[in-house]
Structure 1
Amino acid sequence: MSRSVHDAPLPELLLPQTQLQRDARELARHYEGVFSPQTVERVVFESYAALRRTARVTAHLPSLSRRFATDRLKALAQAEGRVDKDVPEVLFICVQNSGRSQMAAALMADRSEGRVHVRSAGSLPASGIDENCRAAMAEVGLDLTSEYPKPLTDDVVAAADVVISMGCGDACAVYPGKRYLDWDVSDPAGQDLDRVRSIRDDIDDRVRQALPEIVGMTPATAPGAPSSGGATREAASP
Structure 2
Amino acid sequence: MSDKPSVLFVCVHNAGRSQMAAAWLTHLAGDRVEVRSAGSNPGKEVNPAAVEAMAEVGIDISAETPKILTVDAVKESDVCITMGCGDTCPVFPGKRYLDWKLEDPAGQGVQAVRPIRDEIKVLVEGLIAEIAPEPEA
Q: TM-score, normalised by structure 2?
A: 0.94
**d(CA) in 1 for partners of 2:83, 2:16:** 10
Asked if residue 105 in structure 1 is aligned to residue 31 in structure 2, the reply is no
More strand by share: 2
Query: Which residue in the other structure is 2:82 paired with?
Result: 165
Which consecutive segments of 4 or more residues in structure 1 shift more than 4 A?
A: none
**d(CA) in 1 for partners of 2:124, 2:97:** 14
Please report how far the alpha carbon of residue 145 of structure 1 lies from its aligned counterpart in structure 2 after TM superposition. 1.5
**Structure 1: tracts of 5 or more residues without a match:** 1-83, 217-238
Query: Which residue in the other structure is 1:177 paired with?
Result: 94
Q: Secondary structure at the match of 2:52?
A: helix
Query: Which residue in the other structure is 1:196 paired with?
Result: 113
Identity of aligned residues (%): 53
| Letter of the structure 1 residue corresponding to residue 52 of structure 2 | A
Q: How many residues align?
A: 133
| Letter of the structure 2 residue corresponding to residue 177 of structure 1 | G
Q: TM-score, normalised by structure 1?
A: 0.55
| Letter of the structure 2 residue corresponding to residue 187 of structure 1 | D
- The correspondence for 2:31, drawn from 114, 138, 150, is 114
Alignment of 1:123-138 (within 5 A): 123-138=40-55
Please report how far the alpha carbon of residue 86 of structure 1 lies from its aligned counterpart in structure 2 after TM superposition. 2.9
Query: Which residue in the other structure is 2:131 paired with?
Result: 214
Query: Which residue in the other structure is 1:93 paired with?
Result: 10
| Letter of the structure 2 residue corresponding to residue 114 of structure 1 | D
Higher relative contact order (CA 8 A, sep 6+): 2
Bigger radius of gyration: 1
**d(CA) in 2 for partners of 1:215, 1:177:** 18
Q: Which moved more, 1:93-102 or 1:187-196?
A: 187-196
| Letter of the structure 2 residue corresponding to residue 132 of structure 1 | A
Query: Which residue in the other structure is 1:146 paired with?
Result: 63
**d(CA) in 2 for partners of 1:108, 1:173:** 22
Residues 75-119 of structure 1 show CA distances to partners (whole Å, capped at 9, x for unaligned) of xxxxxxxxx113101000000000000000000111112111100
